[in-house]
Amino acid sequence: MIDAGTIAGVMKGIQGGAGSAGFLDTTTNTAASAGDAPFAGMFQTMVQQTSALDKKASQAVTGVLTGQGVEIHDAMIATQKADMAFELALQVRNKAVAAYQQMMGMQF
């Protein structure tokens, strides 16, 4: 689940604070501990968590539509969490692409 602590961990990781809680937990992130760039591991974990939230939201909406006892407010909360996670991943990707394009435009 993405919460304020996780978002703070992502932001700290973007600013260079490796080893913080949330996405940058290198004890569970195999990509970061294998010697890859910490950003790649963090982004991969963020995409996996976003996908998991999307699946949970889809299941909740299906539960509401089929009458499986899922409350509509629970489905809406799950949908909003998935939307927020997607927006965060999209903005991180946009910033990374912009930084890459800016570096490629530099002249030495």
Rounded to an integer, the average pLDDT of 74-98 is 95
For residue 62, tell me if it sits in a domain: yes
Does 29 reside within a domain? no
28 occurs within a structural domain = no
Q: How far is CA 98 from CA 24, 29, 41, 58, 66, in A?
A: 22, 25, 19, 32, 43
**19 inside domain:** no
- How far is Cα 4 from Cα 38, in angstroms, rounded to an integer? 20
CA distance readout (Å), 54 to 35, 84, 88, 100? 29, 10, 13, 28
Question: Which residues span the domain enclosing 70?
Answer: 40-108
Checking if the pLDDT of 35 tops 60, the result is no
* Arithmetic mean of pLDDT over the chain: 77
Residue 87 has pLDDT above 90, yes or no: yes
- For residue 59, being part of any structural domain is answered with yes
Residue 1 has pLDDT above 70, yes or no: no
Tally of domains within the chain: 1
**pTM: predicted TM-score of the whole model, two decimal places:** 0.62
